[in-house]
Amino acid sequence: MNAADALPSPTPRGSRKRVVLLGATGSIGQNALRVIASHADRLELVGVAAHSNWRGLAEIAREHGVRDAAVFDPGAFADARDSGSFPEGTRLLQGAAGLTELSTLPKADVVLVAVVGTAGLEPALAAIDAGKDLALASKEILVLAGKFIMEAARRRGTRILPIDSEHNAVFQCLEGHPGAGVRRIVLTASGGAFRDWPAEKLRHATPADALKHPNWSMGRKITVDCATLANKGLELIEAQWLFGLKPSQCTAVIHPQSLVHCLVEFNDGAMLAQLAPSSMVFPIQHALLYPDRAGGVEPPIDFTRLVRFDFSPVDMGRYPMMRLATESMTAGGVAPAVFNAANEVAVEAFLGGRIPFLAIPRIVGNALGRTSNFEPGSLADVLAADKEARRGAEADAVSFK
Ligand code: NDP
Ligand code: MG
């Protein structure tokens, strides 16, 4: 199902939507909890999952009265089970199977996948198969397997509600407009932590520098992706799948204020933009309450004060990861999966102090250079390409020591 196609909500009006939240202890997870708590008359949290932060998860389960929880990491799961911290009667699940069980809970209406990286793929596919609405923050899984996720959603008639702010913005602009009338979409990028740095200084950039995002407060991996602009590259690929667009229709522009999240240009040249403060509570609320609207958790943009909107083209020389992402998107096949896998490895190595900042695009470029691209016939093909790319990128990262 194309994300822009409006389907009737499976939840009868007036009753509460029951939400499963994968990645509850993360940045998106915390914002989602604020939205759910602010709209307790419309939303109910029924399942939560995290990787290893079981203490945080137990606190969430207690606060929200959640009785189904999953911890991915086996050691953390054992600690959680023995801790007695979860409310009496909580069903505690483990590992990938636990996440998948949560995302198919019979009582759930919508599954919000906000797990960093690609671990959310299987649970997302299971949620689709079970006919749940999928509120999707984890862009990596669409980049890895967009073709198969969208096919499954189409087959099952499942609705995908984008949470990534730019895609949620496009979704809002497209409501009521058939995708055929769209000439192109323009996603905005803040330019990240190094937007105003002289290029020669970048070789000394540290993880602490890269984690100082000018506008958004987010998890570590995505914040580094913003500094390289890999994030915007991943988002272009994400948009291609979500909205059924050609690579040439997905473009980006630098907009330092992060107040306009997208521009949709129609065939007649008219453009629609979507505006909101740079806080994820706006797209999360839109996706969880869709198609309804309700009062916001935070105030809107205040036009009684001077508000500026600047836009400038992306300098591909300054942001080689954007060039590599665009080339991968245009090449198609397994190239986007290779781009994503090598980027995940390289960002982790950079955050671990194992490689310099400028090695990220080199590792990703090398991974793409080593790949003989092909059109994947199955999910297994993509997962094999992902694994191979990770292996190569790991070896490459070691050589930068
Ligand atoms: P964070 O690093 O803040 O949080 C990641 C969350 O995922 C944590 O709850 C973590 O648990 C959990 N997690 C990681 N691996 C697993 C696993 N294998 N099984 C279960 N849970 C797991 O990330 P963000 O919230 O920033 O990002 C989440 C996703 O949303 C990413 O894909 C990102 O690209 C996307 N996104 C984020 C935005 C943002 O504003 N933050 C904006 C748009 C998209 P634990 O705490 O135990 O480690
Ligand atoms: Mg985004």
Does the pLDDT value for residue 19 go beyond 90? Answer: yes
Query: Residue 6's pLDDT band (boundaries 50, 70, 90)?
Result: very low
The response to whether residue 138 sits with its C-beta less than 6 Å from ligand 1 reads yes
Query: Residue 14's pLDDT band (boundaries 50, 70, 90)?
Result: low
Least confident of 13-27, 267-281, 316-330, 336-350: 13-27
**Which DSSP helix (H) or strand (E) runs through 139?**
helix 139-156
| Contact call for residues 234 and 164 (beta carbons, < 8 A) | no
Which CATH topology does 17-163 take? Rossmann fold (3.40.50)
Classify the phi-psi angles of 299: left when phi > 0, otherwise alpha if psi is within -120 to 50, otherwise beta: beta
Query: Residue 9's pLDDT band (boundaries 50, 70, 90)?
Result: very low
**CA–centroid distance, residue 289 to ligand 2 (Å):** 19
pLDDT at 401: 66
The response to whether residue 52 sits with its C-beta less than 6 Å from ligand 1 reads yes
Per-residue pLDDT averaged across 333-341, rounded?
98
Of 33, 40, 39, 89, the C-alpha closest to 56 is: 33
Note the pLDDT tens digit of each residue in 58-98. Answer: 999 999 999 999 999 999 999 999 999 999 999 999 999 99
The response to whether residue 139 sits with its C-beta less than 6 Å from ligand 1 reads yes
Residues with CB under 5 A from ligand 2 (ion): 164-166
The response to whether residue 251 sits with its C-beta less than 6 Å from ligand 1 reads no
**CA–centroid distance, residue 169 to ligand 2 (Å):** 10
**CA–centroid distance, residue 6 to ligand 2 (Å):** 22
Which residue owns the Cα nearest ligand 1 atom 27? 116
Q: If you average pLDDT over every residue of the chain, what do you get? A: 94
Ligand that comes closest to the CA of residue 166: 2
Note the pLDDT tens digit of each residue in 275-285. Answer: 999 999 999 99
pLDDT over 70, % of the chain: 96
pLDDT at 107: 97
The response to whether residue 102 sits with its C-beta less than 6 Å from ligand 1 reads no
Cα gap 289→73, rounded to integer Å: 31
Of 375, 358, 369, the C-alpha closest to 392 is: 369
Per-residue pLDDT averaged across 166-177, rounded?
92
**CA–centroid distance, residue 210 to ligand 2 (Å):** 17
Ligand that comes closest to the CA of residue 47: 1
The response to whether residue 341 sits with its C-beta less than 6 Å from ligand 1 reads no
Note the pLDDT tens digit of each residue in 88-136. Answer: 999 999 999 999 999 999 999 999 999 998 899 999 999 999 999 999 9
Other Cβ atoms less than 10 A from the Cβ of 16: the count is 16
Does the pLDDT value for residue 253 go beyond 60? Answer: yes
pLDDT at 68: 98
